[in-house]
Each structure stands twice: as structure tokens, then as C-alpha cells.
Amino acid sequence: MSTFDCSIVMPVYNEEACIEAVVLSWIQSLEALSIRWQLIVLNDGSTDSTGAILNQLAKSQPGLKVVQKANSGHGPTLVQGYKMALADSDWVFQTDSDDEIKASFFAIFWNKRHEAQGLFGIREGRIQASNRKWISKVSRWVIGVGYSRAVTDVNVPFRLMQARLLKPIVDVLPEDTKTPNLIISGVYPLACTHILNIPVQHSHRNTGRVSLMSFKLLKFCIVAFWQVIVFRRTAAKCDLLR
């Protein structure tokens, strides 16, 4: 029997203006469900006071596990968090730290977990710049052609998955994967009998800033899409494309 019913994985970078409120809102939502949980927050080398705020919170919140790490980017940080969560949990949930999707939606996912092996959010009300809309369309196309079309919002940072099905994928994910969300959205449904796509309200961020812009974003996407394509060979070798 696992120690936790669910582990929540939250990467964070330079979110000093909102991180305390976000973490406390998650703790409140989790405690209301009366489940065995842990909230794993990985501080990816923030240069502001995010790390200090998290350390202070951890002193009074026993369910909060704070990981202070050198900056490696969102993807590698997420992979590290997944590996920690999979060590002793029945379910794994991933969320971002920017409060764009409220913690209160988690209860909907948790209460529907008996209906599917994977539950993925669909962001409603999301406002994107034209370049990011294009990236989203290309992401859906790449995942749909190479893997599966079961997940509607392939890069959504709000997803609940069974640990036993997620572990074989994470075990072979390279640690430098730029967008593990995309790969998991493609491969994970192939191990499931049913996937749920659940609408969640997306709120415009009021703090922090988008870390990837213009040419840097384009370069990031090229590398990320190449990794997604190359991973298919690994997935086939490990019998993940069933």
C-alpha cells in the first residue's frame, strides 16, 4: 500500500508575488478531501524570494515537501518531480504555480477518478498571443500523428494519472526533456481504457512573467518537438505504443 493517495507536483520559478497564496489554496483544497496527500513544490533556482517563502511555509505545513534545486528548466524539473511522486503514491497530479487554474478544480478531477485512468484539463477562456496559438496547434498535430489524439489540451498543466501507468513512461523519459507534458499526453492514453478531458477555467496571470519570448521560444519549440519525435523510438522499444 502506498503512503499517499495522491502526490501533487508543482514546479515553480520566480513566483514570489503569488506562491504563498497558491500553496495555501492547494493545501486547503486537499485537506477538504480527507485524503492522504503530499504537495511537492520544486523551486527551479528562482532568483527572487520564492525559495525563502517556500522554506518558511514548509515549517508549518507537514504535507508540503519543498525541493530547492539549481535551475534546469520547467521540463527537467517536472520529470524530477514525477519521479519523486511515483515513489510512493497511487495517483500523481501535476499543476503549475502561477494560479492560472485554481486549486478548487482538483476536487472535480479527484471525484471522477473512478471513471478513467487519466483525467486531463481543457483550458477554457485562455487568451494566447498568435505565436503561442500556432505552437499549440502544432503540438496537437505532432502528438496526434505520432502517438494518440485522446488528450485534447496536450500541454495542459492540470492532469491526474495513475502512478502504475505513468511510471513506465517517466522511467525512460530523458532528464533533459523540454516538454514532458506533450510526450505523456501522447503515450499515457495508450495504456488506458478510458481518458477524461475536463473543462477548467483558465485565468490570466496577474503576477510574474512569461519566461520564453520570440526567438528563444522558437528555438525551445524546435528542440522540444524534436525530442517528442525521437522519443517515439524509445516508446516503441519499451512497448509503450500498445
- Condensed to tens digits (0 to 9), the pLDDT of residues 163-219 reads 999 999 999 999 999 999 999 999 999 999 999 999 999 987 666 555 555 678 888
Asked if the model's pLDDT at residue 5 lies above 70, the reply is yes
What pLDDT is recorded for position 210? Answer: 54
Rounded distance between C-alpha atoms, residue 153 and residue 4, angstroms: 27
What pLDDT is recorded for position 242? Answer: 80
Answer with the residue of higher pLDDT: 1 or 62. 62
pTM for this predicted structure:
0.94
What pLDDT is recorded for position 82? Answer: 98
Q: Which three cell numbers stand for residue 75?
A: 521540463
- The mean per-residue pLDDT over the stretch 10-26 comes to 97
Average pLDDT over the chain reads: 94
What pLDDT is recorded for position 168? Answer: 98
CATH number for domain 4-237, candidates 3.30.465.10, 3.30.365.10, 3.90.550.10, 3.40.50.150: 3.90.550.10
pLDDT tens-digit map of 62-99: 999 999 999 999 999 999 999 999 999 999 999 999 99
Asked if the model's pLDDT at residue 133 lies above 70, the reply is yes
The confidence band for 126, taking pLDDT boundaries of 50, 70 and 90, is confident
Asked if the model's pLDDT at residue 12 lies above 90, the reply is yes
Asked if the model's pLDDT at residue 238 lies above 90, the reply is yes
Answer with the residue of higher pLDDT: 13 or 1. 13
Q: Domain boundaries in the chain?
A: 4-237
pLDDT tens-digit map of 144-164: 999 999 999 999 999 999 999
